[in-house]
Amino acid sequence: MFQQKHLLDLESLSAEEITEILDTADSFRQVLERPIPKVPVLRAKTIANLFFEPSTRTRISFELAEKRLSADVVNFSASGSSVQKGETLRDTADNILAMKVDMIVMRHPDSGAARYLAQRVSASVINAGDGMHAHPTQALLDLLTLRQRLGDLQGRKVTIVGDIAHSRVARSNIWGLTKLGAEVTVCGPAPMIPADIETLGCQVEFDFGSAIGDADAVNVLRIQLERQKHQIFPGNREYARAFRLDREMLRRTPEHCIIMHPGPMNRDVEISTEVADGPRQVILDQVTNGVAVRMAVLYLVSGGVRETLGENLE
């Protein structure tokens, strides 16, 4: 049974706990298909969304998930807030908690920020992305999408391509996929592959064609120019020549291979428009699953029990 008070990363979850979240998300996915896609399971709970970094889809996805569960929601974003007046993260959290909040969803540019908060506040903390460290709900929605398309992930091959070094999405995906028995290959230009990444249980392949030759899924990461203070690759044109998933490259993959992207896309840089809009992509499905996964996480972290979920959804 799921008993975690927080969701900080996937590294600290067991395969059973991850599966329980995904099973719960399947149930909520059905709720989302209903004419009135709203259930009262988090009625009278208050959730604060703290976003210290720009975000559109993750913030909206969490907010929707919270509203679908009938929670009360307050939003806080860093621009123009007390953060710029020098308030520490601890003080910000204390102030929001003093307003009697039950759960905090936080995105923060510093790796470790979610754990920092969880160590200092009484509320549950859900990590919506901390620096380069973890983005557990993104990885969970990727797992849910993969499971819907491929079934059991044991022995399945997933290739993640792009800037692995700066990507919290990549790290959380590697943890989640390997825990569920999938084989993970990471691919990208050498400066984008961090030191000793193999110790996380994945393989490294610099040749894109080889990396995707037998993949069941390819997860294409956004080239995050905004995270790169120093030049780590020659530029988008050269990158696209070697690492863009376009029609030519897609031919190298098995026919059943699905194409994922966490968004937002740089069309024609890491993925060609043709592929991004093509029949193999499941990108918008990922977005829908994102709402269901976040509903599941909020429900389980707030003490909800999967076994009694059916009654709650009546």
Residue 216, token pair as written in the block:
């069941």
Asked if 89 touches other proteins (CB under 8 A), the answer is yes
Among 59-67, 88-96, 139-147, 177-185, which window interacts with other proteins (CB under 8 A)?
88-96
Q: Identify the CA nearest to 62 among candidates 292, 262, 276, 301.
A: 292
DSSP state letter for 235: -
Residues 190-209 that bind other proteins (CB under 8 A): 194-197, 199-200
Whichever of 177 and 298 has its CB closer to other proteins, that residue is: 177
Asked if 112 touches other proteins (CB under 8 A), the answer is yes
Out of 58, 137, 178, 185, the active site residue is 58
Q: Identify the CA nearest to 106 among candidates 64, 53, 55, 50.
A: 50
In the list 45, 107, 133, 244, the residue contacting other proteins (rule: CB under 8 A) is 133
- Give yes or no: 57 in active site: yes
C-alpha span between 270 and 235 (Å, rounded) = 12
Question: Closest approach of Cβ 93 to other proteins, in Å?
Answer: 12
In the list 28, 51, 116, 239, the residue contacting other proteins (rule: CB under 8 A) is 116
In the list 113, 125, 161, 211, the residue contacting other proteins (rule: CB under 8 A) is 113
Q: Contact, 262 vs 286, CB < 8 A?
A: yes
- Give yes or no: 135 in active site: yes
| Alpha-carbon torsion angle 264, 267, 268, 272, nearest 10 | 90
Out of 6, 45, 68, 107, the active site residue is 107
Asked if 130 touches other proteins (CB under 8 A), the answer is yes
Among 15-23, 34-42, 106-114, 301-309, which window interacts with other proteins (CB under 8 A)?
106-114
Residues 223-242 that bind other proteins (CB under 8 A): 229-230
C-alpha span between 94 and 96 (Å, rounded) = 6
Go through the chain and tell me how many residues it has: 314
| Cα of 92 vs its chain's centroid, Å | 25
Helix, strand and coil percent figures for the chain, each rounded to 5: 45, 15, 40
- Give yes or no: 261 in active site: no
Question: Closest approach of Cβ 111 to other proteins, in Å?
Answer: 4
Number of residues that bind other proteins (CB under 8 A): 27
CB burial of residue 98 (10 Å; 0-12, 13-18, 19+): exposed
Among 95-103, 108-116, 218-226, 261-269, which window interacts with other proteins (CB under 8 A)?
108-116
Out of 135, 168, 171, 222, the active site residue is 135
CA distances from 112 to 122, 129, 134, 141, 258 (A): 17, 10, 9, 21, 32
Question: Which residues lie near other proteins (CB under 8 A)?
Answer: 11, 88-90, 108, 110-113, 115-116, 130-134, 165, 168, 171, 194-197, 199-200, 229-230
Residues involved in catalysis: 57-58, 85, 107, 135
